Structure 1
Amino acid sequence: MNSVNVTELRQHLPDYLKQVQQGEEIAITLHGKTIARIVPDHRESKREAALKRLEALRGTVIVGDILAPLDEEWTADADNL
């Protein structure tokens, strides 16, 4: 984790933001004491999360015709007749 003084941060903010964008954390100091940290945002959007869940399911789902009748006779209501 890099450490930078407030004045230095103000003068070179775009450079430090690029470092954060690449995954680095930056500690901001004032008079030698850390007062804040800039950290990368690792949260993903709802869309990205949904795409990852779908990708994880790829290859595990059985694809078929759910409307076509099976060779078996349905007997779920046989005890009610």
Structure 2
Amino acid sequence: MQTINISEFRANLLKYLEVANSGEQISVTSNGKLLATITPPENQKQQAKKQLKALATNAKLHDITSPIDSDWDALK
């Protein structure tokens, strides 16, 4: 992670946004105090696939159309 001062960030905004877009995190400080962390954008499609994979590890498939313990009027 790269750390830069706010004045350097302002002077070279496009350069640092390109650095973040390439995958590097950037911490922006003022007088040694952290103001913000610029992170690369998440690939939403990849993030969704990760979440679905995580859900798939715990998912249980059951019959979702049969009534559990009550009669449905539609089945009479």
* TM-score where L is the length of structure 1: 0.53
Partner of 1:30: 30
Letter in 1 for 2:10: R
Larger Rg: 1
TM-score of the superposed pair, with normalisation by structure 2: 0.56
Give identity over the alignment, percent. Answer: 35
Q: What does 1:1-81 align with in structure 2 at a 5 Å threshold?
A: 1-45=1-45
Count of aligned pairs: 50
CA displacement, residues 51-71 of structure 1 (integer Å, 9 cap, x when unaligned) = xx9xxxxxxxxxxxxxxxxxx
Q: Tell me the distance in 2 between the aligned counterparts of 1:27 and 1:39.
A: 9
Which runs of no fewer than 5 residues in structure 2 stay unpaired? 53-76
Task: Point out 4+ residue stretches in structure 1 off by more than 3 angstroms.
Answer: none
More helix by share: 2
Deviations 1:15-38 (A, max 9, x none): 001100100000000101111100
Secondary structure of 1:10's partner? helix
